[in-house]
Each structure stands twice: as C-alpha cells, then as structure tokens.
Amino acid sequence: MKKYRLRYAPSPTGFLHIGNTRTALMAFLFAKHYDGTFIVRIEDTDLERNVDGAIESQFNNLDWLGIKADESIYQPGLQKYGAYLQSQKFPRYREMAEKLVQEGKAYYCFCTEEELDQDYQKQKSQGIVATKYNGQCSCLTTSEIEQNLKANKPYTIRFKVPNNHDWTMADLVRGPITFQSKDLGDFVIIKANGVATYNFAVVIDDHDMEISHVVRGEEHISNTPRQMMIYDAFGWEYPEFAHLTLIVDETGKKLSKRSGNALFFIEQYRKQGYLPDAIFNYIALLGWSPKGEKELLTPPELVSHFDEKRFSKSPSTFDMKKLRWINSQYLKKLSEEDYLTFIKPFIDSSRFNWKTKHQNWIDHVLKLYQKELEYGEQINDHLGLFFEPQTLPLEVVINLKNLDDFTKLISYFEKEIRNLEPWTVESIQQLIKKTGVATNSKGKNLFMPLRSFTTRAEHGPALADNIFLLGKEQVLKNISETTKEFLN
C-alpha cells in the first residue's frame, strides 16, 4: 500500500503568511486524509536572509491553526530521513554533488557570470551554436580546471543538462506539463560558498524523507524540470507534484503584504481576534472545494472531505468579507463560557476600565454582542456605550422631531422608571410595553424616542438589556440631558 508522506518546507526568511499557510494546510489535509505523515522541514540555506525568530514563529502559528507536524526539527522521524534543518545537511549535499561530478553529470565551474556571458557572446559572433554552459567550465581548458582545483581556487558545481531531452510532469492541478532541455542551461547545484542551491537540496531532502507528494505554489513550476533532471541523474523516482494556483487580492494581483484590503500574516489575524478553526476553514477553500454546498467545515470534516482531484485551476480571490463572515459563524457557535474566555483579552483596557466592574455585569455586556461580532477586536466598537459619554447624533435629533409628539411618552416613562422595582431586564421589558399602551405608541414611534433618551445612542443591543446595564441613575441622567437639548 502506498505510503503518503507530504511536507511543508518554509525558509526562515519571513513569517507565516496566507500563501504558505495554504501550502501547509493542503499538504496537511492531503496527508491526513490518507492516514499519512505531515512533515515540516526548514530550508535555511539562505543564511544571510534568515530572520531571527522566524522558525519559532512558523511552528507557533501552525500549531495555533491546528496544522501540527508529525515530524519536524522538534520531533524527528527515523534516522534514515536525515536532518529536518537544511543547514545540518551540507556534507550530504556535497557528497551527492561530488558523486554526480564523478559520473560526468556535473562539473566544477570557475567562471564568473560575467566571464560566461562574454564567452557566450564570443561563440555567437563566431557562428557557433552557443551555450553558456557546454558540459564543462566553458571559459577554461581541462588542464586549467585541474590546476585551479589543486590551487584550491573557489568554484561552483554545475549540473550538466542533457541535450535533446523532454520531461513531462503529471501535475495534479494542471495536468501534463512538458519541458525541453533546449530551454535550460547548466545550472549551479553547489555555490562557491559550499552551500547547496534550492533545486539540488530540495531533491536530496525529498528523496531522503521519502516524500510521496509535493504540494507547493505555481511559482515553483519553473523549478520542476531542473529537479526532475536531478532525480533522473540519481535514478530516483519522482514524487507526484501539485502546483497550487495563485491567491490574488480583490484587484486580481498576487496577494502580498502590500495588498490593501487584507492582512497578510497569520499573526495579524490572531491579534485581531480570529478563531483558528475559522482561518483553517477559509484557507482550505482557497484553490480547493469540497463536494456539495456546505462551506462551514471543521478541521476533521475537511480532512474527511479532502480530494486531490478537486483542486482549482483558476486563481483564488482572497475575500476579507467572506473570511469575516466565516469567523462570525464560528464565534456564534462558541459556548457562552468559551466566548467570554476568548473575547476578554481583546478589550482595550486603556480605553475601558472594565476590570473594576462586577464580573456578572461585564459578562452580560459582552454576551449581548456575541452574535454581532466578526472578530475579537471589534468588541471595542461597541463598549463605548457603557463606558463613555454619548452624544446624540444630529440626524437622530432631526428624525425625532419629525415623529409624532413623543414628549408625553418620555415623561410617562421617566416617571415610571424612577420607582421601578425590582431593577431587572424583565421588569424593564414590561415597562416598555406598558408605556406603549399608555401613550398609544408602537414600533418606531415607541422605540426610537426611548432609545435616544435613555441611552443617547441611535443603535445598540436589546433596549431592555441596554437600560438595565446602564443602571437607573445613568438612564435618568441621560433622559434629563437629552430633554434639555430638545428644549434649547
């Protein structure tokens, strides 16, 4: 039976973002659907560009999302799979490159790019079918190459591209793609500093770790023929490839940290108050779709529904509105206890002195908004009603003046609420109904004046809850202040 082993292999030159999260997630779903192994391998050979803390951040955010590695630098697999950090495999890459040199499939090159360009142009001017790389260091004779080696002069190792050869990749997303050797020059596999290039190291790693399927972005398509050549040179079997289509922003451009309408890094979504399962759910729908109409799927359901035949061939648009809607649905599903635990860290304590309030009171306030929030930080758009002085908008004042005479209604309600006992949501609800009957008011003519005078706001949660939480003293104060404004 085929063993499914898939990997996500980020470089620590940046932090986890939407694009590489989608790559990791698809590889994770693919592996788990077939009871396989999901591997996280770190490609840190670009030593100068590595960012401090990037590796830890990658794992921290993957774990938060629930994309947990079965094998990684923190939990290595069998010894035969090798290291999970490329910088620990330099001797392995050198050994395999030297093997290709010995077999005549690669060669030492002492030429600079400038020298290669000059030699290339010289051959063309002489009417020679020119190539920058012709199976040996084209700027030097064989004896000169040997002398340079003895003198320990720096060199690269280039892979010798076979002549007149085609490679066809059976891509799981796009179908067959054919590459021709005439379009490719000999390429470096070991740089002058001794570090393996991406295309060489990734093949060694994928072979050593017995990777069965490679899921990655479409920008890697151009790398694939070079990697297939290296597989062929060693006599190794190719993994199956799946090159995911681009994720684009609302303007059709590739999603990036400069995209104006979307956050780019996963850490930004965590800080704004998105739930990990909601992010997991939404990103799974970028470039892939389950059967049926259902879009809200838990991680276990997505694993169960995964089908590699349902990758999209079209770019995926990152839609913030849809992500916010999905997150709002997950927020609504939380139990009250889980919701309160989740939402409290997002309250701006520098603005709202909520910790001095009774726990039952603040819990009541927060629960009013569970069905309205799209993400955690949004709670701060609502709390001002209970913590900050309110100014009745001018347009509300104008609209009130266009209603039927409401002074009798407010006078009646103010008198009754002064003596209202007990002070409960239920008793306030009854008083609102009683006021409507007594003043022959209903609908907009009842609720608009009452909300405006008691809360000094145009909108808010259920009016009885709103009045209860503000408290009798504040409600009477609001009525008094608003009445004075109408008299002036």
Binding positions are: 257
Residues 6+ apart with CB under 8 A from 418: 472, 476
Residues 6+ apart with CB under 8 A from 60: none
d(CA 225, CA 178): 9
Annotated binding site for ATP: 257
d(CA 340, CA 266): 23
Q: Report the SS3 class of residue 122.
A: helix
Q: Burial-class residue 227 by CB neighbours within 10 Å (0-12, 13-18, 19+).
A: buried
d(CA 384, CA 82): 57
Taking the C-alpha atoms of 410, 411, 415 and 416 in order, what is their torsion angle to the nearest 10 degrees?
-40
**Per-residue burial over 276-311, b = 16 or more CB atoms within 10 Å of its CB, e = otherwise:** bbbbbbbbbbbbbebeeeeeebebeebbebbebeeb
Catalogue the E-assigned strands of 289-378.
316-317
d(CA 227, CA 2): 22
Closest CA to 98 of 108, 88, 89: 108
352: number of Cβ within 10 Å: 18
d(CA 390, CA 303): 49
Residues 6+ apart with CB under 8 A from 112: none
273: number of Cβ within 10 Å: 20
Residues 6+ apart with CB under 8 A from 277: 66, 298, 299, 330
Longest dimension (CA), the chain: 110
